[in-house]
Amino acid sequence: MRKVLVITAVLLCQLSFSALAQDGIVAKIAEASSSVKTLSCNFEQTKRMKLLKSPMKASGRMCYEGGDKLRWEYSSPYHYIFLLNNGKVTLSGQSGTSVIDAAGSKLFSQITRIMASSVTGECLSDKQNFELNTSFSGNSPVASLKPLKKELRQMFETIRLTFNPVTLLPEKIELLESGGDSTTIELKNVIINERLDPKEFGAE
Amino acid sequence: MNGLTPRNSVLNRVLFFVTLLLFCCTRVSGQESRHYLSINLPKQGFTGVCLAESDSLQIRGTIVNEFGIKALDFVYDKLSDQIRMPYIVKNLDKWYLRKVLKRDLKGILPRLCENSAFIYEGHKRKMTYNFVPLPPFDDETAE
């Protein structure tokens, strides 16, 4: 009986310690993300599909300015721009440009919010939309976010963010689908709080 | 005595044919195609990427948007001349759309493997499929 009590106590302690550790990491990441006013970087996207042997790779550049300004631009192997500015989304591709009111579509507004909050790590504090688990990969904190809303769950089983151990900003975003496919976005040459040209968020 | 017993000679021939067969299979299989795709309808459109791989038995492919979010997967069985869609995104998962897409894909697939630009006029709903081959990814070019 005593053994059972000791084991239970140890397990409870471990649970509370891991909960405390998780709160600590989340707080530090939240502090780092709150200091980000602007962010720009290059990215490399790799989509792996169960059905196909070769992955699909794409790369480009991303700019973010606090609030809801985001420019996500693919330059190889195709040219495509996703521009979010004050709730309006402009999509420019090889076959033209279209403007969408993100607020008009529940799914679209959720996707744009995730995109904007993932690049800084703000989404970790979004308890309404995600169940959060944290761990470490070497020195790098890793946050696994399970979508709680049905619309997002149909697209992604887990969104995993790997943070730079020094800056505590995301350096890898993995979108894991229930069918086994995955998309990995690696952020490179991250520059924060440098003035961005307002034209970056203007219509193309 | 050159050390080549009849048993060794048969083994060598078998090994030669296996090597030849493997060489032929790798030449036939592993065919890939990557196209930028735009599907145009009278009032709306979709853009994305169509990826396909072919071997002697099947053509497997997927259509994703530029962000990598999947619209559908398809598998064409060359022997039975049948197309399956193991995955289709929920808002496209309607029986009549599956029927139209399957029929159109049957017409598209022979041209997809040619890896050249083409336009395919869909059977219904005035759908037009515009395929443009993707250039190699920058890093792949560097390799």
Q: DSSP labels for A109-133? A: HHHHHHHHHHTTTGGGG-TTTEEEE
**pLDDT of res. B5:** 66
The span from the CA of A202 to the CA of A2, in Å, is 68
Q: Does B61 touch chain A (CB under 8 A)?
A: yes
Nearest CA in chain A to B129: A95
Given pLDDT bands bounded at 50, 70 and 90, which one contains residue A32? confident
Helix (H, G, I), strand (E, B) or coil at A77: coil
Q: Quickly list DSSP for chain B.
A: --S--HHHHHHHHHHHHHHHHHHHHHHHS-EEEEEEEEEE-SS-EEEEEEEEEE-SSEEEEEEE-TT--EEEEEEEETTTTEEEEEEE-GGG--HHHHHHHHHHHHHHHHHHTTTS-EEEE-SSTT-EEEEEEPPPPHHHHH-
Neighbours of B117 (CB within 10 A): 12
Which among B49, B60, B90 is the nearest to A78, CB-wise? Answer: B49
Per residue in A143-177, pLDDT (tens digit) is 999 999 888 888 899 999 999 999 999 999 999 99
Residues 6+ positions from B82 with CB-CB distance below 8 Å:
B76
Chain centre to alpha carbon of residue A70: 13
Query: If you ran DSSP here, which 8-state letter would residue A102 be given?
Result: G
CB contact under 8 A, A74 and B66: yes
Distance (Å) from the C-alpha of residue A30 to the closest C-alpha of chain B?
26
As given in the structure block, the two tokens for residue A55 are: 């992955």
Cβ atoms of B76 and A75 within 8 Å: the answer is no
Closest chain B residue to A78 measured between Cα atoms? B134
- A177:B136 CB<8 A: no
CB < 8 Å to B85, chain A? none
Of A51-55, B2-6, B119-123, least confident by mean pLDDT is B2-6
Please, which residues 106-125 of chain B have a Cβ atom closer than 8 Å to chain A?
A: none
Question: Is pLDDT at A105 greater than 90 in this prediction?
Answer: no
Comparing alpha-carbon positions, the chain A residue that sits nearest to B85 is A51
**Contact between chains at A77 and B75 (C-beta distance less than 8 A):** no
Q: What are phi and psi of A60, to 5 degrees?
A: 180, -150
Are A95 and B130 in contact (CB < 8 Å)?
yes
Contact A32, A168 (CB under 8 A): yes
- Please give the average per-residue pLDDT across A100-119, as a whole number: 74
Distance from CA of A173 to the nearest CA of B (A): 13
User: Please, what's the b/e burial string for A150-177 (b: 16 or more CB within 10 A of its CB; e: otherwise)?
Assistant: eebeebbbbbbbbbbeeebbbbbbbbbb
Q: Which residue of chain B is at minimal alpha-carbon distance from A154?
A: B90
Q: B73 to chain A, minimum CA–CA distance in Å?
A: 8
Question: Once rounded to an integer, what is the mean pLDDT over residues A88-103?
Answer: 84
Q: Which residues pair with B38 in a beta bridge?
A: B47, B130
Q: What is the pLDDT of residues B93-138, one digit of tens each?
A: 999 889 999 999 999 998 888 889 999 998 776 889 999 999 887 6
pLDDT in tens, B49-64: 999 999 999 999 999 9
Please give the average per-residue pLDDT across B54-78, as a whole number. 93
CB contact (8 A) between residue A56 and residue B135: no
Whether the Cβ atoms of residue A90 and residue A81 lie closer than 8 Å to each other: yes
Q: Which of B34, B40, B87 sits opposite A179 (nearest CB)?
A: B87
Average pLDDT for chain A? 84
Please count the residue pairs, one from chain A and one from chain B, whose beta carbons lie less than 8 angstroms apart.
77
Residue B33: pLDDT band with limits 50, 70, 90: very high
B61: chain A residues, CB-CB within 8 Å: 51-52
Instruction: Report chain B residues whose CB lies below 8 A from the CB of A58.
Output: 66, 68, 137
pLDDT for position B28: 40
Dist. CA A84–CA A68, nearest whole Å: 7
Using a CB-CB cut-off of 8 Å, the residues of chain A touching B30 are 53
pLDDT (0 to 100) of residue A161: 93
